[in-house]
Structure 1
Amino acid sequence: MITLGIVTISDRASRGVYDDKSGPAIREVYARWLTTPWQDEYRLVPDEQPAIEAALRELADEVGCPLIVTTGGTGPAPRDVTPEATMAVCDRILPGFGEQMRAVSLQSVPTAILSRQLAGSRGKSLIINLPGKPAAIEECLRAIWPAVPYCIELLGGPHLAFSDAAPRHHRPSSASSPQLSTP
């Protein structure tokens, strides 16, 4: 069984002002897409860079999550510091993920240009920042999913299996590991 990290970044949800809807939205997507047995490690933290960094480090270094997805804190507001926290803990930034999410989101909402979503790696973990709006979570994951499984394997993570509901993912024909494809 693999463990996937889910981190919701929200001042109000972390204080109990309202229920987190974004973290459960990520779980729901995983439940429909993954056939590999999985469980999640969930964290709900305020929009504070040290708290976000600590959650990401713990999930990558101690729990060993091959995939850590954050939701929230990617806008231009002063307290939106998820990208800064992600950059601080990552070994490498993978800018194509953020570029693709913004490109797809711009087709639905013109303010998507304000998003600062990004992705990077820490050791064997792929960390991806998603927007905080539950409706945008699947849209953004669907946009980048073709590259996610192969990236996880390139980082030394596990081979993941998927249902027919998952977007088709891509693996270069020159890759030396078993071919990834959706049945």
Structure 2
Amino acid sequence: MNTTTNEDAVELAGELIVGLVSVSDRASAGVYTDEGIPALSAWLASAISSPFRIESRLIPDERDDIESTLLELVDERQCHLVLTTGGTGPARRDVTPEATLAVSTRDMPGFGEQMRQISLRFVPTAILSRQVAVIREIGEHAALIMNLPGQPKAIKETLEGLKDADGAMLVAGIFAAVPYCIDLIGGPYIDTNDAVCKAFRPKSAQRPAKV
């Protein structure tokens, strides 16, 4: 399954390409409707203000399928960022982290640590989550791959962070660090909607806001 932000658009220089992978035996078999990819697509549309397009895949909980999908999205489709949802618990069918680590060239443990800190605000079973983030490098291209939770509410909280009733940040979401990470691995510059998620960059890496 392929979706894009604009099906007729020609790929632009500096356009961010995002791969979305929902890992679910039942959703991929049509037993129920997948909620992960729609939730991710909607959040990205609200949070990113610079050009981007999406490559989406709905696949079963099979390690070979997950690995081959990640390789296709990074090596062939040239995605700069790949987000997976599902398959990160301790059950025997939960193999997304293993597949992600298998295609990586470098581990990025801080993302997984922060995801669990956010989830622990809600449930003690957050310590059972095995979500990881990695970088895959091939030739001159590199991508950040991150495992996210399976539920739409948890996806939003993980990416965006937690705010109090006045809008003050209680726990930072992981996406605030993603644009600068993409900068560092040679990807396109990502502008964000500060009302949803304000990207953090050191002053030396910031570009003037577009008017």
* Structure 1 and Structure 2 fold alike (TM over 0.5): yes
Q: Read off the aligned partner of 1:170 and give its amino acid letter.
A: F
User: Of residues 128, 148, 165 in structure 2, which corresponds to 1:130?
Assistant: 148
Match of 1:85 in 2: 99
Larger Rg computed on CA atoms: 2
Q: Equivalents in 2 of 1:99, 1:138: separation in Å?
A: 17
38-47 vs 162-171, which deviates more? 162-171
Q: Which has the higher helix share?
A: 1
What is the aligned length? 181
User: Residues 93-150 of structure 1, C-alpha deviation per residue, up to 9 Å, x if partnerless?
Assistant: 1000000000011001111110001100012100000011111001111211121101
Q: Equivalents in 2 of 1:71, 1:56: separation in Å?
A: 13
> Helix, strand or coil for the counterpart of 2:100?
helix
Tell me by how many angstroms 1:179 deviates.
4.0
Are the counterparts in 1 of residues 22 and 57 from structure 2 also a CA contact under 8 Å?
A: yes
Provide closer, same or farther for how the CA distance between residues 135 and 4 of structure 1 changes in structure 2, counting only shifts above 3 A: same
Q: 2:65 matched to 1:51?
A: yes
24-33 vs 156-165, which deviates more? 156-165
Where structure 2 has 5 or more consecutive residues not aligned to the other structure, the ranges are 1-14, 161-172
Are the counterparts in 2 of residues 170 and 181 from structure 1 also a CA contact under 8 Å?
A: no
Match of 1:160 in 2: 190
Tell me by how many angstroms 1:164 deviates.
3.0
Match of 1:102 in 2: 116
Match of 2:37 in 1: 23
Provide closer, same or farther for how the CA distance between residues 47 and 75 of structure 1 changes in structure 2, counting only shifts above 3 A: same
> Helix, strand or coil for the counterpart of 1:145?
helix
Give TM-score, length-normalised by structure 2: 0.82
Q: Percent identity?
A: 53
Could you list the runs of 4 or more consecutive aligned residues of structure 1 that deviate by over 3 angstroms after TM superposition? 177-183
Q: Equivalents in 2 of 1:39, 1:106: separation in Å?
A: 32
> Helix, strand or coil for the counterpart of 1:101?
helix
Are the counterparts in 1 of residues 16 and 187 from structure 2 also a CA contact under 8 Å?
A: no
Give TM-score, length-normalised by structure 1: 0.94
**Aligned alpha-carbon RMSD (Å):** 1.7
Q: Within 5 Å, give how 1:140-159 maps onto structure 2.
A: 140-142=158-160, 143-159=173-189
Are the counterparts in 1 of residues 16 and 190 from structure 2 also a CA contact under 8 Å?
A: no
Q: Equivalents in 2 of 1:67, 1:150: separation in Å?
A: 12
Q: Equivalents in 2 of 1:181, 1:67: separation in Å?
A: 22
User: Of residues 2, 5, 8 in structure 1, which corresponds to 2:22?
Assistant: 8
Are the counterparts in 1 of residues 36 and 151 from structure 2 also a CA contact under 8 Å?
A: yes
Provide closer, same or farther for how the CA distance between residues 163 and 89 of structure 1 changes in structure 2, counting only shifts above 3 A: same
Provide closer, same or farther for how the CA distance between residues 172 and 181 of structure 1 changes in structure 2, counting only shifts above 3 A: farther
Provide closer, same or farther for how the CA distance between residues 55 and 180 of structure 1 changes in structure 2, counting only shifts above 3 A: farther
